[in-house]
Chain A
């Protein structure tokens, strides 16, 4: 099975900060990498698919990059509504697998 590892597991940031979250796959997954945002008590929400394609309706301050085993989610200017937990997910093979999550908290 493919393992997904995110870092950091949590971070504290201020409104307006640039935030970067990394995700590493245990083997090459090409660009089969998706990013989700989850707020407390809600289902995950798709932000980015195919490593760098922004889902319709998602603000352009979110961006994704990477291929192979190393990927990055960047929030260019953190907004109050962005405080949440972020997950990466590989769709290269089954079983589908998620990272353990990165919690973005208010500094």
Chain B
């Protein structure tokens, strides 16, 4: 059974870079589409983007200028960076696997989520 776990600092200062890692266990990530999402009271659930284990990325245009994703297949990990953060980036951040099969895509496995607060 695949499991996902987010990790990273819970507090980031304004204008700095938010960095999170999603560690995947129970399956190799080579063929994964791994999405990052976030949830805040003001904006609900927001899709940040996805990365495939091959390195292909697709970012939400609303965040594209500040976001970068990467993958380390040796460690079975995906990473997220959000640059120049503001208080509006305060949210619970999730990683989730998106399944692309004979059905339309869906998120079938999620990490537990990690709260990131942007504050000085």
Contact = CB atoms under 8 A, between A and B. Distances in A.
Interface of A: 1, 30-34, 36, 42-46, 49-50, 53, 55, 87, 89, 91-92, 94-101
Interface stretch (B20-28, B82-90, B109-117): B109-117
23 contacts: A32-B105, A34-B106, A36-B107, A42-B113, A43-B96, A43-B111, A43-B112, A44-B94, A44-B110, A46-B108, A49-B104, A49-B106, A50-B104, A55-B108, A87-B44, A91-B98, A92-B104, A95-B49, A95-B61, A95-B62, A96-B35, A97-B47, A98-B45
B2 to A, nearest CB: 13
Nearest to A87: B45
Contacts, number: 65
B113 to A, nearest CB: 5
Nearest to B58: A94
Contacts of A45: 110
A32 B58 contact: no
A34 B45 CA distance: 14
Contacts of A96: 35, 47
Contacts of B60: 94-95
